[in-house]
Structure formats: C-alpha cells, structure tokens
C-alpha cells in the first residue's frame, strides 16, 4: 500500500517528543509525537490498570437499616476517590496484619431521626481514624488482663496523623458531595471502612483515572483552491468550525483550514449535497477536501480521580513503561 509501518529505534529517539496542551488540577491534555500506536496504547493501559491507588476494600457494618443492601453499600464506598498519595503506603497481602503502613480506616455513622424528613448521607461524613479501628473483635474467651486494651481489627503502632506526611494533610475523600445513601425516618447506618493499596487490573475502584484516552491528530487537506460562495458553504458545513474564510484581496475570499485539531472526522465536509438540490447543482465535496490522520501523532487526555495530579500520573506511568522495556531488553539479551 506504500505505507511504512516499521518501527526504527533511531527514528523514534530523534523524533519523539511530548507537548503539553492543557493542564488543570484534575485533567491533562498533551501530544505524543513520533510514537508508534502500540506504545501509545501500552501507556494508556498502564494508566488505567497498573498505577496503584488507595481504595476502600473491607467494610465492617455494625448497623444498616437503610434500603441499600450491605453489599451494594460496600461497593459504593469502594468507588469513592480518596485524597491520599498511595506511594506513602505498602501493599497488604492476605497474611499481613492491618497497620498504619498499609491500611486507612474511616468511620461512618449517620441516623435519620423519626418524624424528620429524608436525609442524604454524603462522603464528607466519612471520618478518618488515624489511630486505627475502633470496633472490637468479639471473642469467646474473656481477657486475662481486664485493664488491657480491647482487640480491634487493626494493629496500629502509632497514629497516622503523627507522621510528617499526614500531619498537615489529613486523609479523606477527594469530593465531599458524593451521595452514599439516603435515609428515611428511623433508618441508620453505622460502619467502619478499611482502605488498602491496589491496582486497577484487580478492580476498577483502584484505577487512578476516570478515563485515559487518545486519538490521532486529524489532518484536513484542501485538494484545490476553494473561493467565493463555495468557500462560505464549506465553512457552514463543518459543525465544529474547522474552516475559516481568508480575504485574499480585491474582494476575493477563499477557504482555509484554521482549526484542524478540532476536527472529529464526522465527514460532514465531504458528504455530497442532498437531493434537495438539482443534480447539476450538487457539489461533491470529496473533490475539494480530504480527511486523514497523522499516524504517529496522538492527542492524549488524562482525567485523574484526584488521588494524584495528572502530571504525576504521567510521570509514574513513564517509569513503569521504562521498567517494562528494560525487562524485555534483559530477557532478549
């Protein structure tokens, strides 16, 4: 087909670059230029599934008289984004004891009094317990020492708010207005939620991004000069205003491609005129305009859930991709 799809290391090294287009608190748009589609997709999959975050995994329900079942309530709590740096915590295996280095504990107690109207239980009611669990483990054998501290579901050696990384930055939900449940008169929810470190490939609640996606840079080419009324008609055909009118003097106007990045490849600009026009008056726009894609230029968008800023997610994903490439090179050698 006359298209070179080979991947050459020297060409990639000399031409690859990243250009940041937009950066806000929660999202980032940038261009990856000079990269193969396989590497761009690998980067996207790393962002979705291989960057760790903290999410609620275990929910200990002391009382739930709401209409939401315990399992559904635990699932909703797990999907609440937490504002905490996961790099400060360790992974917890099945044999590990929950402690201040691998577990975050929250408490939720909300009650709707009888005779009052329905209330909403919001995420801002999740109270961080830096000293660990407050629920005691029920045992059949009585304690030998009555003065000893009751056994709970965690084993914290120190309070998390005494650690320098959390002393001025308390842990909590990223957004305070997420609805967890609605309670009617006389209904109550009392529970304890334990958050641990995990990855999106285990469960979507550990994915650090709301979405991460890319598209190839559109290339809109005018195959010939378009002037006069045809140029004005072309400008009107595009719903996202890719084309514009340029004054070339002496009362002449021609169409130009002003905003190719905005093109969604909807093909409206190359769609023939409808049957409302006579056959002799119809314009076949594919003779004037060609729509293409730049195969090595990707417009990337990262939308963070809030645990880490998008630029930090980008950096961490690059480190993981670099580590994967080094492992491949080691195995081949």
Transcribe 71-110 into DSSP letters: HHHHHHHHTS-EES-GGGS----TTSPP-TTT-EEEEEEE
For the residues 253-268, what does the mean pLDDT come to?
92
Phi-psi region at 9: left, alpha or beta (left = phi > 0; alpha = psi -120 to 50): alpha
- For the cut 60, the answer to whether the pLDDT of residue 202 exceeds it is yes
Residues 6+ apart with CB under 8 A from 303: 26, 27, 209, 210, 211, 212, 310
**d(C-alpha 194, C-alpha 323), whole Å:** 31
- Cα(31)–Cα(301) distance, rounded to whole angstroms? 9
160-168 mean pLDDT = 86
| pLDDT of 191 | 96
* More reliable by pLDDT, 165 or 301: 301
State the average pLDDT over residues 28-42: 93
Taking only the tens place, the pLDDT of each residue in 89-130 is 999 998 899 999 999 999 999 999 999 999 999 999 999 999
pLDDT at site 20: 96
Average pLDDT, the chain: 90
Among 106-115, 153-162, 285-294, which range has the highest average pLDDT?
A: 106-115
C-alpha distance from residue 221 to each of 104, 108, 121, 242, 291 (Å): 55, 59, 54, 11, 6
* SS3 (DSSP) at 127: strand
Query: Is the Cβ–Cβ distance between 212 and 302 less than 8 Å?
Result: yes
Query: Which of 195-204, 230-239, 268-277 is most confident?
Result: 195-204
- Is a pLDDT exceeding 70 seen at residue 1? no
Are β-strands 104-111 and 127-128 bridged in parallel, bridged antiparallel, or unpaired? antiparallel
């Amino acid at each position: 087909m006359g298209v070179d799809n080979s991947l050459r290391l020297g060409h990639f090294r000399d031409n690859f670059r990243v250009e940041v287009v937009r950066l806000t608190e929660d999202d980032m748009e940038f261009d990856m230029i000079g990269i193969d589609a396989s590497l761009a997709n690998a980067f996207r999959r790393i962002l979705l599934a291989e960057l760790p975050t903290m999410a609620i995994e275990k929910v200990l329900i002391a009382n739930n008289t709401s209409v939401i079942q315990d399992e559904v309530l635990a699932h909703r709590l797990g999907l609440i984004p937490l504002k905490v740096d996961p790099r400060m915590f360790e992974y917890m295996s099945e044999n590990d004891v929950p402690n201040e280095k691998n577990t975050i504990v929250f408490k939720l107690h909300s009650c709707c009094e009888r005779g009052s109207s329905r209330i909403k239980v919001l995420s801002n009611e999740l109270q961080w317990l830096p000293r660990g669990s407050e629920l005691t483990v029920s045992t059949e054998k009585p304690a030998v020492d009555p003065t000893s501290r009751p056994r709970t579901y965690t084993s914290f050696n120190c309070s998390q708010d005494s650690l320098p990384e959390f002393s001025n930055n308390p842990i909590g939900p990223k957004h305070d207005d997420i609805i967890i449940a609605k309670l009617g008169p006389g209904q109550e929810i009392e529970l304890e939620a334990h958050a641990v470190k995990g990855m999106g490939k285990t469960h979507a609640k550990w994915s650090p991004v709301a979405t991460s996606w890319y598209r190839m840079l559109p290339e809109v080419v005018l195959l010939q000069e378009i002037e006069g009324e045809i140029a004005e008609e072309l400008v009107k055909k595009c719903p996202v205003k890719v084309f514009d009118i340029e004054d070339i003097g002496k009362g002449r106007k021609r169409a130009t491609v002003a905003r190719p990045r905005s093109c969604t490849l909807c093909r409206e600009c190359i769609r023939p005129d409808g049957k409302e026009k006579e056959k002799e008056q119809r314009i076949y726009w594919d003779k004037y305009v060609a729509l293409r894609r730049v195969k090595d230029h990707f417009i990337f968008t990262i939308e963070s859930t809030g645990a880490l800023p998008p630029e930090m997610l980008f950096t961490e994903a690059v480190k993981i991709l670099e580590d994967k490439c080094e492992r491949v090179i080691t195995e081949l050698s």
